[in-house]
Homo-oligomer: A and B are copies of this chain.
């Protein structure tokens, strides 16, 4: 279903954005990135994911494990205890838990009470990412983790990072779904001409599990980041594809010499970029932001590799400042926002999230409470 921007606007103005950020809960029945694979090892990693404290570690054979980070006995954080083999020993009274979260030893007692245990969350490792499912365990299906082949494709080189944004996760989606901010916020890095962004052709489509937006900046000046990677002849045709599904935004962008056929369908011989934005709500006021940037050119050039990463890092730091100011302002005075045509994608994404949360509330299983 393709939605003409103006119709979207008219229809959604009242419903979507009047949802104050503080009222937005989380979707639980979804796979989220919990950590980069290299962050999880034999030392405990403690994170707050979807409002719950989680301790992550690897077994002796390297399997990633995620448990509730709170001893069942006296609520002491398990992440302050120690790992012995594949069991966690609580630092307060020595209670021992296995990787299923079951209590297997109470030092002061000859047996463990049956009910004594902590939640274990399913995790799935995919390339450099560890995904977690914190919803109803019966619904966890690792086959539904979104595809992101570019992390393991030899034709692409990538580098990523985990950042904390002290803002509500919805604001991150808003930011990514409406890229008309790029010309203003990122004018010194990936920006290019503000006018080109603002006048870009945009098509917003609802997909099976999310929203797809495609924007074309035809015959525009390539931004500094692009020129650093690729030798364009002059002006370029530039594309920005945004693929949203709850938990992540995938950006497929790139550029090719103007008029060289990209718009007609042939992007070969151009610069291609893939940016993953995995967005994992931590608290209502903070969000883990796992991102990576992959490119299909100059794979072995370490200078370019580092430079592209640094520029994207600087770019996303610009977003971080914006989002945190905006979050503070909205907390002080959660008045409704106003949507315009360029927000069509953001409005659709909010609608997807709202629907999913409503669905979950209707059939809430006790295991996710």
Binding site for B on A (CB under 8 A): 52-53, 70, 72-77, 80, 89-94, 106-109, 113, 115-116, 174, 178, 180-181, 183-185, 194-195, 197-200, 322, 325-326, 329-330, 332-333, 335, 337-338, 340-342
Contact = CB atoms under 8 A, between A and B. Distances in A.
A329 B70 contact: yes
Contacts of A76: 322, 325-326, 329
Contact of A73 (B113, B183, B330, B337): B337
Given A94-B180, A94-B183, A108 B197 contact: yes
Contacts of A77: 325, 329
Given A109-B340, A332-B53, A333-B70, A91 B198 contact: no
A75 B335 CA distance: 9
Given A53-B332, A326-B92, A332-B53, A106 B75 contact: no
Contacts of A184: 89-94, 107
Contacts of A178: 93
A194 B91 CA distance: 12
A116 B326 CA distance: 18
A74 B337 contact: yes
Contacts of A80: 325
A107 B329 contact: no
A197 B333 CA distance: 45
Contacts of A340: 73, 106, 108-109, 113, 116
Contacts of A73: 337-338, 340
Contacts of A75: 326, 329-330, 333, 335, 337
A224 to B, nearest CB: 19
23 contacts: A72-B338, A73-B337, A73-B338, A74-B174, A75-B326, A76-B325, A76-B326, A77-B329, A80-B325, A89-B184, A91-B185, A92-B185, A93-B180, A93-B181, A94-B183, A94-B194, A107-B194, A107-B197, A109-B198, A109-B340, A109-B342, A115-B338, A116-B340
Contact of A53 (B92, B107, B194, B329): B329
A335 B333 CA distance: 29
A13 to B, nearest CB: 9
Contacts of A199: 108
A112 to B, nearest CB: 9
